């Protein structure tokens, strides 16, 4: 699953770690968000306080984890990493919060998947750097307040719409990460190629940039497959190598992979082009609704193959063209 921005095995994590920008200056693109973060961090530094809590919203693979690391690194602060799915009880969160050192940056990935009970504990922690711990059971239970070290929470979510308002409101700043433009992706790729000591020409980089779904993680991953291809075939990492490697891995000219095409094809052939509801669609392609909604759809919407309407998902005329099918609306020959 070369273009699933969510998958990452051990080898890939190591590879990503090596390519991660370490400062805002090295971070490519997202100029708006970079400017906003820079201001927030500089102001905090000038006043010698911990920066406000930061929420990073956007599809997977756009640099949320990287930015959390940069926030810690730029301020010379330690970083603790956790994730929503790992926090299934308030106690899990209490254990983390109570062991933070002053100024620490706490990164919670997929914060929308945290347990409800933990969420409520987090409100107080974010606002007052304090939590209430329940001691005992039943009628004899009492709550004991516990002061925390001041910390900066950096939350990441692919679905900011799923966050309850009280949680969203407690972040001093929300950054919305956008898909990257092709120029920016060429820059990401050029940087990665240099760091890997890879000789790739501009044409090849441009081709990868056009096929990586606006996502740096996928750009770097495709680059790695192209490198493998060139290595095995004893050639250069040129345009031909890119085309052959991406064909082998089922990534088409628009960067769509098998799941993207399955979704489009289902809407076109089984639901007459839509509208079709998310859950029905998910069942018909055998994938989780959340994956369709946070991974597949944002990109299909962005490149104009899909629109979301109140009655469901609708494929655009371009979607019919891209799959080489004839839209009923276009009339019979
Ligand atoms: P997310 O947390 O949003 O899923 P990550 O921060 O893990 O995404 O980014 C995935 C990979 O993409 C990182 O290893 C990094 O190498 C690369 N990357 C992401 N954003 C950028 C960027 N702006 N500039 C350069 N590389 C980036």
Residue 312 pairs in a beta bridge with: 309
Say what the ipTM of the complex is: 0.99
pLDDT tens readout for residues 48-93:
999 999 999 999 999 999 999 999 999 999 999 999 999 999 999 9
158 carries an active-site annotation = yes
Query: What is the rounded CA–CA span in Å between residue 152 and residue 67?
Result: 13
- pLDDT confidence of residue 5: 67
Q: What parts of the chain have a pLDDT lower than 50?
A: 332-333
Neighbours of 47 (CB within 10 A): 9
- pLDDT confidence of residue 232: 93
52 carries an active-site annotation = no
Query: What is the rounded CA–CA span in Å between residue 265 and residue 260?
Result: 9
Contacts with 257 (C-beta within 8 Å, 6 or more apart), sequence order? 1, 2, 3, 4, 250, 251
What are the CA-CA distances from residue 85 to residues 107, 157, 230, 294 (Å)?
A: 13, 12, 39, 16
Do the annotations mark residue 179 as ligand-binding?
A: no
How far is the centre of ligand 1, averaged over its atoms, from the C-alpha of 30 (Å)?
11
Give the residues surrounding ligand 1 with Cβ less than 6 Å away: 16, 19-21, 27-30, 60-66, 156, 188, 216-217, 220
Strands 142-147 and 130-135: antiparallel
**Of the residues 3, 65, 152, 157, which is catalytic?**
65
**Of the residues 211, 213, 217, 221, which is catalytic?**
217
270 carries an active-site annotation = no
- Which residue's CA is the closest to the ligand 1 atom numbered 7? 65
50 carries an active-site annotation = no
Do the annotations mark residue 66 as ligand-binding?
A: yes
64 carries an active-site annotation = yes
How far is the centre of ligand 1, averaged over its atoms, from the C-alpha of 19 (Å)?
8
Provide long-range contacts, Cβ within 8 A and 24+ apart, for 239-245.
239/201, 239/203, 239/204, 239/207, 241/204, 242/204, 242/207, 242/208, 243/207
Query: What is the rounded CA–CA span in Å between residue 146 and residue 125?
Result: 10
DSSP 52: P
- Return the best residue to mutate from 19, 20, 81 for the ligand 1 pocket (most ligand atoms within 8 A of CB): 20
Do the annotations mark residue 19 as ligand-binding?
A: yes
Torsion angle, alpha carbons of 95, 97, 64, 164, to 10: 100
Nearest partner of 270 among 283, 259, 257, judged by Cα: 283
DSSP 304: T
How far is the centre of ligand 1, averaged over its atoms, from the C-alpha of 26 (Å)?
11
Backbone torsions φ then ψ of 132, nearest 5 degrees = -110, 125
**Of the residues 3, 109, 224, 225, which is catalytic?**
109
How far is the centre of ligand 1, averaged over its atoms, from the C-alpha of 179 (Å)?
11
**Of the residues 64, 211, 224, 225, which is catalytic?**
64
Rg (CA), the chain: 23
- pLDDT confidence of residue 318: 93
- pLDDT confidence of residue 140: 86
| Contact by Cβ (8 Å): 86, 109 | no
Task: Estimate the share of the chain in helix, then strand, then coil, as percent rounded to the nearest 5.
Answer: 50, 15, 35
- Return the best residue to mutate from 38, 191, 217, 220 for the ligand 1 pocket (most ligand atoms within 8 A of CB): 217
Round to the nearest angstrom and report the end-to-end CA distance of the chain.
38
- Which residue's CA is the closest to the ligand 1 atom numbered 21? 63
How far is the centre of ligand 1, averaged over its atoms, from the C-alpha of 193 (Å)?
15
Do the annotations mark residue 20 as ligand-binding?
A: yes
């Amino acid at each position: 699953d070369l273009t699933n921005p969510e998958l990452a095995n051990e080898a890939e994590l190591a590879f990503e770690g090596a390519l991660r920008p370490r400062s805002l200056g090295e971070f490519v693109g997202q100029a708006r968000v970079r400017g906003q973060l820079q201001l927030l961090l500089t102001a905090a530094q000038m006043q010698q306080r911990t920066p406000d809590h930061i929420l990073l919203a956007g599809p997977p693979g756009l640099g949320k984890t990287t930015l959390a690391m940069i926030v810690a690194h730029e301020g010379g602060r330690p970083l603790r990493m956790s994730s929503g799915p790992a926090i299934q009880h308030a106690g899990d969160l209490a254990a983390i919060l109570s062991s933070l050192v002053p100024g620490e940056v706490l990164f919670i990935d997929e914060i929308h998947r945290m347990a409800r009970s933990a969420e409520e504990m987090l409100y107080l922690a974010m606002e007052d750097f304090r939590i209430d711990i329940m001691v005992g059971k039943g009628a004899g239970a009492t709550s004991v307040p516990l002061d925390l070290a001041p910390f900066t929470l950096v939350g990441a979510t692919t679905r900011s719409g799923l966050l309850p308002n009280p949680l969203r409101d407690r972040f001093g700043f929300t950054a919305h990460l956008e898909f990257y433009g092709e120029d920016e992706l060429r820059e990401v790729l050029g940087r990665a190629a240099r760091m890997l000591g890879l000789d790739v020409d501009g044409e090849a980089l441009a081709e990868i940039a056009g096929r990586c779904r606006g996502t740096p993680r996928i750009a770097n991953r495709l680059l790695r497959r192209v490198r493998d291809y060139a290595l095995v075939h004893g050639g250069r990492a040129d345009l031909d190598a890119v085309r052959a490697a991406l064909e082998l891995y089922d990534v088409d000219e628009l960067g769509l992979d098998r799941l993207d095409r399955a979704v489009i094809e289902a809407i076109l052939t089984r639901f007459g082009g839509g509208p079709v509801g998310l859950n029905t669609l998910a069942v018909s392609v055998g994938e989780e609704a959340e994956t369709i909604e946070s991974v597949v759809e944002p990109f299909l919407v962005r490149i104009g193959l899909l629109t979301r309407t109140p009655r469901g998902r609708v494929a655009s005329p371009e979607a019919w063209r891209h799959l080489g099918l004839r839209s009923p609306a276009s009339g019979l020959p």
